[in-house]
Chain A
Amino acid sequence: MKERKPVMGCLPKNSAVRRFVFRVVASVSANIVLTIFVASCFDEFHPHGPLAYLLAALPAVAILGFIVALGLFLVEEKDEFQRNMFIQTLLCGIGGTLVFMEVWGSLETYMHIRHFPMTWTFTLFWIFCGISAPLLLRRYR
């Protein structure tokens, strides 16, 4: 078996990681496309009522796909250390996103700073995952 790189550190070498990356790229791409599609629909057609709700929910479908990809990876990855690193990275991503949203929300409410679009939450989660993954890996070098 060839050496395997850390899950979120570099290009994937094992099949579980390869499948995970493929699924994540698919779900993130779908999220981007749907977000742009929904934004242009709202700009062009100004929908309202149930159609507006349906349109707004569309990008979230891709996020559900991403959650499924996470779950499948945890089932398929046989290396427990890699699973452990992956979970720690996700926790950092979730924690960073929640803290950011909480702080920004308070500042928005009480200090009337610029509004942060909530549609950026998913991107923000990835940014925090991306920052935390190499930092976490350094602990195990």
Chain B
Amino acid sequence: MKNRLRVLRAEREWSQADLADRLEVSRQSVNAIETGKYDPSLPLAFRIARLFETSIEAIFTDEM
């Protein structure tokens, strides 16, 4: 699954650690999601979407 997490994070000038703090997950989690190696669960996807004040579909796409 592809995502725009890195772009959204960069727009806000947040480091991976900053984003991890805001999501209350580890930096490794953020990195794994950003690189598309790990797909977050629906609750975490909602948390990410809420943090960036957008919809899940605007962040994640199901194209490989």
Contact = CB atoms under 8 A, between A and B. Distances in A.
Interface residues of B, number: 18
B37 interface: yes
Interface residues of A, number: 16
B38 A3 contact: no
B27 to A, nearest CB: 5
A80 B20 contact: no
B21 A1 contact: yes
A4 B38 contact: no
A140 B37 contact: yes
A71 to B, nearest CB: 20
A80 B40 contact: yes
B27 A79 contact: no
B39 to A, nearest CB: 10
Contact of B38 (A5, A6, A78, A140): A140
Contacts of B28: 4, 6, 81-82, 85, 137, 140
A84 interface: yes
Interface of A: 1, 3-6, 78-82, 84-85, 137, 139-141
Interface of B: 17, 20-21, 24-29, 31-33, 35, 37-38, 40-41, 44
7 contacts: A3-B26, A79-B29, A81-B29, A140-B28, A140-B31, A140-B32, A140-B38
